[in-house]
Structure 1
Amino acid sequence: MSRREQIEALLADDPNDAFLLYGLAMEYRKEGAYEEALDRFKLLVKQTPPYVPAFFMAGQMLAEADRANEARTWLREGIEEANRQGDAHAASEMSELLMTLGQLGE
């Protein structure tokens, strides 16, 4: 059984577990299954409170996939959420990545 399959089995018991959803998204990302990963990141940011690392990882993944405009959107929203949650470190990491992508659309 692959790591992804193991995580999926655990999620069957607790489908809203943020740690498991994040792990599954990261496994999909590793496999190059970006849309599946993005779907899991979207679930994570809809949780209460939104799972801040999902914004950063989605932004990073989208940037790597040459989807810079989408990456910028995820990062901007992530910075706002990180600031709301008092997570200055995450906000700083996302700001740095956003700067490397440029603030404006291409």
Structure 2
Amino acid sequence: MSRREQIESLLADDPNDSFLLYGLAMEYRKEGAHEKALERFDQLIRQSPPYVPAYFMAGQMLAEAGQANDARSWLRDGIEEAQRQGNGHAAGEMSELLMTLGQMGE
């Protein structure tokens, strides 16, 4: 059984577990299944409270895929949420990545 399959099996028992959903998203990312990864990242940010690392990883994955505008959108939203949650470290990391992409559209 692959790591992804193991995570999916665990999620069957607890489909809203943030740690498992994040792990599944990261496995999809590693496999190159970016759409599936984005679906899980989106699921994570719709939770209450949103799972801040999902914003950063989605932004990073989209930037690597050459989708800078989408990456910037995820990162801006992530910075706002990180600040709301008092997570200055995450906000700083996302700000740094956003700066490397440039603030404006392509």
Counterpart CA distance in 1 for 2:57 and 2:105 is 20
Matches within 5 A, 1:1-106: 1-106=1-106
Shift of 1:42: 0.2
Please report the RMSD computed on the Cα atoms of aligned residues, expressed in angstroms.
0.2
Residue 34 of structure 1 and its aligned partner are, at CA, apart by 0.2
How many Å separate the matches in 2 of 1:104 and 1:59? Answer: 15
- Calculate the TM-score normalised by the size of structure 1: 1.00
Q: Which runs of 4+ in 1 moved over 2 A?
A: none
Aligned residue pairs total: 106
AA aligned opposite 1:30:
K
Percent of matched pairs sharing the same residue: 80
CA shift for structure 1 position 78 = 0.1
Unaligned segments of structure 2, at least 5 residues = none
Distance 2:6 2:95 in 1: 34
For residues 68-94 of structure 1, the C-alpha deviation after alignment (integer angstroms, 9 at most, x for no partner) is 000000000000000000000000000
The structural deviation recorded for 1:37 is 0.1
